Amino acid sequence: MSEASLIETIHSPADLRQLSRAQLKQLAREVRASVLDNVSRTGGHLSSNLGTVELTIALHVVFDTPGDRLVWDVGHQTYPHKILTGRRERMPTLRQLGGISGFPRRDESAYDTFGTAHSSTSISAALGMALAARQKGEDRKAVAIIGDGAMTAGMAFEALNNAGVERDARLLVVLNDNDMSISPPVGALNRYLAQLMSGHFYAAAKNVGKTMLGPVPPLFELAKRLEQQAKGMVVPATLFEKFGFNYIGPIDGHDLDSLIPTLENIRDLMEQKAGPQFLHVVTKKGQGYKLAEADPVAYHGPGKFDPAVGLVKPATPPKQTFTQVFGQWLCDMAGHDQRLVGITPAMREGSGMVEFHKRFPDRYYDVGIAEQHAVTFAAGLACEGLKPVVAIYSTFLQRAYDQLIHDVAIQNLPVVFALDRAGLVGADGATHAGNYDIAYLRCIPNVSLACPADERECRQLLSTAFGQDHPVAVRYPRGAGVGAQPLGDLSALPFGKGELRREGQRIAILAFGTLLYPALEAAERLDATVANMRWAKPLDTELLLQIAARHEVLVTVEEGAIMGGAGSAVLEALAAAGVSRPVLQLGLPDQFIEHGDPARLLALQGLDAAGIESSIRQRFDAERPSAPALKLVP
């Protein structure tokens, strides 16, 4: 069998189990090459997937998947898993409209046992599956593969705490440790110790020791301490064993000759209901591709590139992104105001804080993947007179909703939330879309929400938010806007005030955020008025009522959920003022929107210029001659 053809014979994990160890190693090389080839064509997560090839093969060889459940965490390390579970031929559609997801999806494959894209959920889900099997009398196992920083989240430790008391749960937690600064050595000695510690002899010896020495407490305690010290010389076992897990490792996550026997031993322990197991494997991000090994951050989620050349800077500099606008503003405002501190939950690069970290290291806090802690930590800083800026993706602030209400809003603390990735995010799909922040923030007392239309307004509204003495969020999308050059100063825009951008007839479009520009384009063809509302809360009711008095119908446009969104705020304000007008709400529907090109997704939702125009004409028959403005209803 030629090396080029081996991967083509794998249609399911059952095929893996027919291969020799040498063939599995060959397959690992082919899978790694397939991941690199496909990601270079579609874009996607590269470094983390190159690092999980051997681990994925070993898990599918040893465990009877999909009967045995594999739960992957964070979920962006599952490309090898997809290739080996019947989706190799669909990999060229990865993250494309109508193609397969970049994350596990239950509706995509029986091998994707749990949808994971936000971090640190795997242990909870796998424990639920293990205990469900116990309750139903089913003989199957559950494995949580957690890594890429996901163990820093409190939820992971909550799950460990729960799992540790379930002594008969057939649960394995695999810590995929791809932190290259790990200190314990990985090699033949650790391989031998890991296999020995996972084997029957070691487990039996521990049990015999407990039986023999149990009646003599001093001797039993001495033996216990000696065991812990011996293990502590080579493994960081104590923490996880205190949770009630049998800790094994660390072992080389790229060595199939170590992984497979160790997992086989652990599988046998699970069959004996020997308690929850914990395997610590060490992998390298970018393994097998030198450029990604050297710079795993740059190759974490690249776009399309030539693998032979690697990532190259474009000949013409791209437009400045909203994230970059925020990063520059953060540095400038920090230089102006010593009270500013910046906080990120493990998204320094993604949130544009690299330069801030470099220039103001004593005022920069990366709290790990711990969004709840990030928000309450900010509240504590604000209580002492500092001005925290929490840089967080819209989709991740959802994870700290109680802290936002209980710890920030009720106490009315001046915390600024820089909400990156608001609206549709494209290839990452529904799990990462920031569609709900207007709705979930607007209902919280004391919280204000700004929606900048372009890069210049983003910088100015961040300054406005920072100048307030209560919590304010500023939402902005991924990528670049229309290219409006930000001003060099720290000037602010008026709080809670919008502006009239175009005067027209009969129809008025109220735009929130970056959809102002397609709304203006549609308005040219409709001869409609356009307002840049800027604030979803507080709503500029003065401007709204002025517009309502001079127009027959109103249209609200937002890149957010229609239900409870900015359009709902307009309807509420009109009702409160006793004003009756037909209102067309344009935004994102009550459904999860799949992955794809962002511009294409917006067009499919009718939120490009053509779609806005079409919806207005269909609803209000815009071709009809202009009618006199309606009077306010008393």
Beta-carbon contacts of residue 312 (< 8 Å; ≥ 6 apart): 305
**CATH class for domain 499-620?**
alpha beta
CA torsion angle 262 188 283 99 (round to 10):
-50
Known catalytic membership, residue 399: yes
pLDDT, residue 1, reads: 40
Are 322-475 and 499-620 equal in CATH topology? yes
pLDDT, residue 240, reads: 86
Residue 341 bridge partners (DSSP): 388
User: Cα 102 to chain center, whole Å?
Assistant: 12
Mean pLDDT of the region 287-300 = 90
Whose tokens are 């086989």? That residue is: 264
Q: Is residue 183 scored above 80 in pLDDT? A: no
Known catalytic membership, residue 457: no
pLDDT, residue 625, reads: 45
Per DSSP, the chain holds a count of helices (H) and strands (E) of 25, 17
Q: Is residue 361 scored above 50 in pLDDT? A: yes
Within 10 A of 212 (CB to CB), how many other CB atoms are there? 12
DSSP string across 251-310: EETT-HHHHHHHHHHHHHHHHTT---EEEEEE--TTTT-HHHHH-TTTTSS--S-BTTTB
Known catalytic membership, residue 371: yes
DSSP state of 616: H
In the set 54, 371, 457, 559, the catalytic residue is 371
Q: Is residue 144 scored above 50 in pLDDT? A: yes
In the set 32, 95, 284, 399, the catalytic residue is 399
Whose tokens are 């994350």? That residue is: 103
499-502, strands of its sheet edge to edge: 499-502, 529-532, 507-512, 553-561, 583-588
Where does the pLDDT of residue 215 fall: very low under 50, low under 70, confident under 90, or very high at 90 and above?
Answer: low
Phi and psi dihedrals of 70, rounded to 5? -110, 125
Percent of residues, the chain, with pLDDT higher than 70? 88
Tell me how far apart the alpha carbons of residues 284 and 305 are, in angstroms, rounded to a whole number. Answer: 21
In the set 285, 387, 459, 506, the catalytic residue is 285
Q: Tell me the pTM.
A: 0.86
CATH number of 322-475: 3.40.50.970
Domain ranges within the chain, ordered by starting residue: 3-294, 322-475, 499-620
pLDDT, residue 624, reads: 54
pLDDT, residue 627, reads: 43
User: Could you read off the pLDDT of 232-285 as tens digits, one per residue?
Assistant: 444 456 788 888 999 998 899 999 999 999 999 999 999 999 999 999 999 998
Whose tokens are 């809670």? That residue is: 496
Q: Residue 220, SS3?
A: helix
Both tokens assigned to 555: 């249209």
Q: Is residue 308 scored above 70 in pLDDT? A: yes
The larger pLDDT score, comparing residue 273 to residue 197, is at 273
The amino acid occupying position 492 is: A
Please tell me whether the peptide bond between 486 and the residue prior to it is cis, using omega within 30 degrees of 0.
no
Mean pLDDT of the region 24-33 = 96
DSSP string across 63-92: S-TTTSEEEEESSTT-HHHHIIIIIGGGGG
pLDDT, residue 201, reads: 44
Beta-carbon contacts of residue 573 (< 8 Å; ≥ 6 apart): 539, 541, 544, 545
Tell me the torsion sign for CA atoms 202, 208, 209, 211. positive
Q: Residue 246, SS3?
A: strand
Where does the pLDDT of residue 149 fall: very low under 50, low under 70, confident under 90, or very high at 90 and above?
Answer: confident
Q: Is residue 129 scored above 80 in pLDDT? A: yes
DSSP string across 322-368: HHHHHHHHHHHHHHH-TTEEEEESS-TTTTT-HHHHHH-GGGEEE--
Q: Is residue 148 scored above 70 in pLDDT? A: no
Residue 553 bridge partners (DSSP): 507
Q: Residue 561, SS3?
A: strand
Where does the pLDDT of residue 147 fall: very low under 50, low under 70, confident under 90, or very high at 90 and above?
Answer: confident
Rg (alpha carbons) of the chain, rounded to whole number: 28
DSSP string across 143-205: EEEEETTGGGSHHHHHHHHHHTT-TT--EEEEEEE--TT--S--SHHHHHHHHHHHSHHHHHH
Residue from 63, 196, 78 nearest 130 by CA = 63
Where does the pLDDT of residue 630 fall: very low under 50, low under 70, confident under 90, or very high at 90 and above?
Answer: very low
pLDDT, residue 226, reads: 53
Tell me how far apart the alpha carbons of residues 137 and 89 are, in angstroms, rounded to a whole number. Answer: 37
- What fold does the segment set 3-294 form as a domain? Rossmann fold (3.40.50)
Tell me the torsion sign for CA atoms 344, 144, 399, 372. negative
Phi and psi dihedrals of 418, rounded to 5? -90, 100
DSSP string across 422-481: BB--STT-TTT-B-SHHHHHHTSTT-EEE--SSHHHHHHHHHHHHT-SS-EEEE--SSB-
Tell me how far apart the alpha carbons of residues 549 and 579 are, in angstroms, rounded to a whole number. Answer: 9
pLDDT, residue 194, reads: 56
Where does the pLDDT of residue 484 fall: very low under 50, low under 70, confident under 90, or very high at 90 and above?
Answer: very high
Q: Residue 371, SS3?
A: helix
DSSP state of 321: B
User: Could you read off the pLDDT of 486-543 as tens digits, one per residue?
Assistant: 999 999 999 999 999 999 999 999 999 999 999 999 999 999 999 999 999 999 999 9
Lowest-confidence region among 56-60, 199-203, 367-371: 199-203
Phi-psi region of 208 (alpha: psi -120 to 50; beta: other; left: phi over 0): alpha
Tell me how far apart the alpha carbons of residues 257 and 263 are, in angstroms, rounded to a whole number. Answer: 11
Tell me how far apart the alpha carbons of residues 466 and 492 are, in angstroms, rounded to a whole number. Answer: 9
Beta-carbon contacts of residue 468 (< 8 Å; ≥ 6 apart): 414, 448, 495
User: Could you read off the pLDDT of 425-463 as tens digits, one per residue?
Assistant: 988 989 999 999 999 999 999 999 999 999 999 999 999
Please tell me whether the peptide bond between 538 and the residue prior to it is cis, using omega within 30 degrees of 0.
yes
Tell me how far apart the alpha carbons of residues 159 and 154 are, in angstroms, rounded to a whole number. Answer: 9
Both tokens assigned to 481: 């806007």
Is 163 within 8 Å of 127 (Cβ atoms)?
Answer: yes
